[in-house]
Amino acid sequence: MSFYAARQPILNRDKSLYAYELLFRQSLENVFPEINDNEATAKLIEGLQFNLGLETLTQGTLAFINFTHDSLLDGYPLLLPKEQIVVEILETAKPGKKLLQACIELKEKGYILALDDYEHQPLWLHFFPYIDIIKIDYQLSSTEQIQQIVDEVKGFPHIKLLAEKIETYAEFEQALDIGCEYFQGYFFSKPEVIKSIAFKPSQLSVINLMAEVYKAEPSIPIITTIFEGNVELSFKMLRYAQSPLFKREKHIETIRQAIIMFGMTELKRFISLLFTAQFSQGKPQELTIMALARARFCELMVATNNTSTKPSSAFLIGLLSLLDAMVDADIVDLMDKLPLSDEIKNTLIIKQGESAHYLQLCELFELAQWQDAETICQRYSYSVERSLEHFQQAVLWASERIKMI
């Protein structure tokens, strides 16, 4: 029996990664049906203890974990380390003396407490001295309801507000204005400002490398020359070559030697990694990891489904799917500036074709929209089990690769 968990990033005011919310994913035999909240909490905790582990999923940050009314009374949060989790009290929990006592005990032991999808009720005011974070659902709460919550917490300056389901930059700005400290949603994957792009010299070098390695017959001398003309890229390549991923019989002494050692498949991946690093500067690292995970997921799906699409092309499509968010520009304008095939450009702009289906499925996994993901799998005859495995592998692969540069 496999264990699966999805994670959604939570950012702070400067868009740096603050934490992840971890979401339970059903077993492969019965992936998407409704499941009792108490059982979901228990299975998630069990999985974190005996399978993936918090460190694997959160990369050293905090993990927001949903707890039901019953699981709080039963002391489930105590099974996880207080330094690594935020105890998220589900909106279905009913405020009362027993729940209040459970929260007081958790607070005394050093746990961080959060109220999920908060809708104000006077009884919750008794909990406020022990609550650290209140989550506001921006898609379900009206402006008046949000303002009421803001007014109620003014007397409790230790409470931080978290705006969740932020989908646009305008919503992000509004949440900033009312004093929210944390943000959850995919506003960072959409452009904040639409503007013309002027590429930096280092970015142009990576673009030229991308253009060369994705040709039908890449030229090793040209690739070598581009690397040798950029000290920063050469340094990163040599450092990457020292990774335990590669079994070396002797030390790498030249750029050409490193290129040959990589082989074209791994060289494409490395240049893709350089690409995301160059174009996502000033953005949350989670955005880079997500782009790499999408790339790897699309590549794995192509390999599994034995299609006519080249794995390298699918990888590139996944990688570029967040390019507009990385450089705050319109995707159509960006495609005009990059030396890519019409097939890749059309996939990214029109979102049609096989690789677009893989990309859509990956996005649904990111958002934990399981029913829609299952529908996509059924429509295109993808294995749900294998697709979920590929997504999990892709996230871990991306997290490991980003550390190398």
Cα dihedral value 404, 57, 394, 364, nearest 10: -140
pLDDT-wise least confident of 31-40, 146-155, 200-209, 270-279: 31-40
The C-alpha atoms of residue 24 and residue 26 are separated, in whole angstroms, by 7
Per-residue pLDDT band for 303 (boundaries 50, 70, 90) equals: confident
Tell me the two tokens of residue 50: 């005996």
330 burial type by CB count under 10 A (0-12 exposed, 13-18 middle, 19+ buried): middle
CB 23 within 8 A of CB 8: yes
The C-alpha atoms of residue 326 and residue 361 are separated, in whole angstroms, by 21
Residues of the chain with CATH 1.10.3210.10: 201-402
Q: CB 16: neighbour CB atoms within 10 A? A: 11
Q: What is the arithmetic mean of pLDDT over 293-303?
A: 92
Segments in 155-310 forming alpha helices (H): 169-177, 201-213, 220-228, 231-241, 255-279, 285-305
Segments in 116-158 forming alpha helices (H): 143-153
CB 139 within 8 A of CB 110: no
Per-residue pLDDT band for 190 (boundaries 50, 70, 90) equals: very low
Q: Look at strands 85-89 and 160-166 and give their pairing.
A: unpaired
Residue 72 dihedral angles phi and psi, to the nearest 5°: -70, -45
Query: Using DSSP, how many helices (H) and how many strands (E) does the chain show?
Result: 18, 8
pLDDT given at position 30:
29
pLDDT given at position 115:
92
Task: Please state, rounded to an integer, the average pLDDT across all residues of the chain.
Answer: 81
Q: Which residues contact 261 (CB under 8 A, 6 or more apart)?
A: 241, 246, 248, 252
Q: For the chain, give the percent of residues with pLDDT over 90.
A: 21
For the 4-189 domain, the top CATH level (class) is alpha beta
CB 77 within 8 A of CB 43: no
Per-residue pLDDT band for 104 (boundaries 50, 70, 90) equals: very high
Per-residue pLDDT band for 284 (boundaries 50, 70, 90) equals: confident
Residues of the chain with CATH 3.20.20.450: 4-189
pLDDT given at position 88:
92
pLDDT tens digits, residue range 4-59?
Answer: 566 778 888 888 889 888 776 554 332 333 555 666 666 666 666 544 456 666 77
Q: List beta partners, residue 8.
A: 21
pLDDT tens digits, residue range 68-96?
Answer: 898 899 888 888 888 888 999 988 888 89
**Superfamily for 201-402?**
Hypothetical protein af1432 (1.10.3210.10)
Is the CA virtual torsion 368, 371, 376, 381 positive or negative? positive
Per-residue pLDDT band for 322 (boundaries 50, 70, 90) equals: confident
Cα dihedral value 278, 281, 285, 286, nearest 10: -80
Residue 308 has pLDDT above 50, yes or no: yes
Tell me the two tokens of residue 92: 């279905």
The C-alpha atoms of residue 171 and residue 168 are separated, in whole angstroms, by 5
